[in-house]
Amino acid sequence: MRVAGWLHGRRKPLVHAKMLVLGRIGWTSYDTPYGLDEGNIRFTPLKVWWGSANWTDPSTTHLEVGFVSDDSKLVDSAADFVADMIAFSEPITSSCPGPEPNLVEVGYDNEAMAQAAAEYEEAHEGYGEDDY
């Protein structure tokens, strides 16, 4: 489950879009003048499903609706939307107050870093590149 955005004084809003992008996962590699490259995994979207069902146990007692399409423009747009939501959203357990990534800024003591660098240089005086 993911969350995105922010609400003042309340929980972050859940990503409530109920959509599946269905496709094929394959291994792509290319022949180069130097031999076969290492290749990579590639997802090719083929169909999109969207509807009201949320795939929970209680949903089996609800009247739900769903649609499937293989229209290439719709499939590509849905795949882009899902990728963007995954990139922008965070796990529901995130402690970040806003929609920014859940990272903490690290402060540096520039004077202490300069002193440590000077001490390191002093301790290694006289060593040439061949000595390492």
Using one digit for the tens of pLDDT, what is the confidence trace for 8-46? 566 666 677 889 999 999 888 777 788 777 778 889 999
Residue 68, domain member (yes or no)? yes
Q: pLDDT grade, residue 123 (50/70/90)?
A: confident
Domain that holds residue 41: 2-105
pLDDT > 70? residue 100: no
Q: Measure the CA angle with vertex 45, ends 42 and 51; round to 5°.
A: 140
Are the C-beta atoms of residues 85 and 4 closer than 8 Å to each other? yes
Are the C-beta atoms of residues 14 and 1 closer than 8 Å to each other? yes
CB atoms within 10 A of CB 94: 14
Residue 117, domain member (yes or no)? no
Residue 110, domain member (yes or no)? no
**91 compared with 57, residue with greater pLDDT:** 57
Residue 38, domain member (yes or no)? yes
pTM of the model: 0.57
Structural domain count, the chain? 1
